[in-house]
Amino acid sequence: MLGRALRAGHRPRSVLLAPRWLDDVTAMLADVPGDDVPVYVAEEPVLEAITGFHVHRGALAAMHRPVLPPVAEVLAGARDGGGARRVAVLEDLVDHTNVGAAFRSAAALGVDAVLVTPRCADPLYRRSVRVSMGTVFQVPWTRVDPWPDGVDTLRPLGFVVASLALSDDAITLDELVADPPERLALVLGAEGDGLKPRTVAASDRVVRIPMAGGVDSLNVAAAAAVAFWATRV
């Protein structure tokens, strides 16, 4: 994960690690620009006492938090500057595990960028980073603020905004895939209540994942993976 963060341009403030990682981490930090990065080495029981939790990989870094770029800049810069064609919007997710899992699916299934709303859990929180397997440093992302007024930021950029929600007028995910828009923004809602009514009303399309077995919905991270796979390009 440290390697992903460094490749994405994140600069560490300090690193705390077990002796077995010293050579590898020293090599990683050799090309970091700017002042030297302090590296503290201790046995794993000491690391656990310092941090208050089991550092199971044996290394922990404190990073400088980058300034988040504007939405339009993130979308324009995706696909090596060719512009995003498929993005995910995470609305007010409160579970850092779900945020991390959504980012991991986004990376694995070719989503070009992720936008998170102002009240969504922090993708750079330690648990989000760990669950994502470091892909929060790989997938371009930023916060879209305000929201749901931010829909009006996406539409002029050519995106069709599709909210995943249970609604009487919802089309199925299969129907969306049968006639896919050139640029698609998939909006996924918070655990429990799902998307805000204002978000659904502001969307161009409302989409549902067909269900069986008397189940009416999936966990948001699972729903994200299904939607990302179905709409892959």
Asked if residue 190 and residue 140 are part of one domain, the reply reads yes
Asked if residue 27 and residue 96 are part of one domain, the reply reads no
Dihedral sign computed on CA atoms, order 71, 139, 105, 14 = negative
Instruction: Determine the structural domain holding residue 134 and report its residue range.
Output: 71-230
d(CA 140, CA 137): 8
Single residue among 18, 41, 63 that ends a domain in this structure: 63
Asked if residue 119 and residue 18 are part of one domain, the reply reads no
Single residue among 16, 35, 63 that ends a domain in this structure: 63
- Contact status, residue 148 vs residue 165, Cβ threshold 8 Å: no
Pairwise pLDDT comparison (62 vs 34), residue with the higher score: 62
Looking at the predicted structure, is the pLDDT value of residue 135 above 90? yes
Output the six-digit token pair for 113.
């960028």
Question: Residue 156 is part of a domain; what is its CATH number?
Answer: 3.40.1280.10
Mean pLDDT value across the chain: 92
Count other Cβ atoms within 10 Å, centred on residue 110. Answer: 15
pLDDT bucket at 195, cuts 50 / 70 / 90: very high
Asked if residue 90 and residue 57 are part of one domain, the reply reads no
d(CA 63, CA 90): 24
pLDDT at site 56: 63
Amino acid at 126: R
Asked if residue 149 and residue 55 are part of one domain, the reply reads no
pLDDT at site 54: 74
pLDDT at site 25: 86
The residue to which tokens 């988040």 are assigned: 68
pLDDT at site 138: 93
